[in-house]
Structure 1
Amino acid sequence: MEDVSQQISSFCTLIKLKRFDDHTLRTLQVILESKDGRLLPQLRKRLKEFLRSESLIAIRQIANKPIGHVLSVLDFFVRAFAIVSDVESCLVLRYEALVMRDSKSISYLDLRVSCTEWLKFAQDAFDNGFYSITSKACENALLPFDVKGGARGDNLLENGAIMNKIQILRDIAIRLSATHAGMLVICLVLLSMRDYLVFCTIQVQVSDYMKQKDLCLKQSSSCNRAHYPASISFRNGIKQRNVRNLLHLQNLRRG
Structure 2
Amino acid sequence: MPNPTSLTEQISLFCSRIQDRSFDDVTVRILESILIPKDVRSLIRVRSALKQFMRDESLLIFREITQESVEIKLLCTDFLISEFAIIGDVESCLALRYEALVMREHRTATHPGLQVTCGEWLNFAEDSLENEFHSIANQACEKAIMCSKANHVATPDIDDFSHDVQAIKKIKRLKDAAILMISSRSVQGQAAAYLKGKEVEQGTQHLVTCSEAQSSGSSRFKSGIRKHNLRKLHEYRRLRQLS
What TM-score do you get using the length of structure 2 for normalisation? 0.74
**Higher RCO (CA-CA < 8 Å; seq separation 6+):** 1
Q: CA RMSD in A?
A: 2.0
Q: Does 1:92 align with 2:79?
A: no
Measured at CA, do residues 34 and 177 of structure 1 come closer, stay the same or move farther in structure 2, by a change above 3 Å? Answer: closer
1:210-234 Cα distance to aligned partner (Å, 9 max, x none) = xxxxxxxxxxxxxxxxxxxxxxxxx
For 2:127, the equivalent position in structure 1 comes to: 124
SS of the residue 2:170 aligns to: helix
Sequence identity (%): 39
The amino acid that maps onto 2:99 is E
Aligned 8 A contact 1:152 1:159 in 2: no
For 1:68, the equivalent position in structure 2 comes to: 71
For 1:79, the equivalent position in structure 2 comes to: 82
1:114 to 109, 117, 123: 117
2:43 to 19, 40, 43: 40
The amino acid that maps onto 1:184 is G
Cα distance in 1 for partners of 2:113, 2:94 equals 22
Cα distance in 1 for partners of 2:165, 2:143 equals 16
Moved over 6 A (4+): none
1:27-79 Cα distance to aligned partner (Å, 9 max, x none) = 10011116444411111111111111111111111111100001111111111
Deviation (angstroms), 1:93: 0.6
Cα distance in 2 for partners of 1:176, 1:37 equals 32
- Count of residues in correspondence between the two structures: 193
1:162 to 141, 153, 167: 167
Cα distance in 2 for partners of 1:109, 1:78 equals 23
Cα distance in 1 for partners of 2:173, 2:156 equals 19
The amino acid that maps onto 1:11 is F
Cα distance in 1 for partners of 2:37, 2:20 equals 24
2:15 to 8, 12, 17: 12
Q: Gaps (5+ residues) in structure 2?
A: 201-243
For 1:31, the equivalent position in structure 2 comes to: 34
Cα distance in 1 for partners of 2:66, 2:59 equals 11
Farther-moved stretch of structure 1 (33-42 vs 166-175): 33-42
The amino acid that maps onto 2:119 is T
Higher gyration radius (CA):
2
Cα distance in 1 for partners of 2:86, 2:140 equals 24
For 1:250, the equivalent position in structure 2 comes to: none
Q: Gaps (5+ residues) in structure 1?
A: 194-255
Deviation (angstroms), 1:144: 2.7
The amino acid that maps onto 1:106 is A
1:158-198 Cα distance to aligned partner (Å, 9 max, x none) = 221111100111122112212211221221121235xxxxx
Q: Per residue, is there more helix in 1 or in 2? A: 2
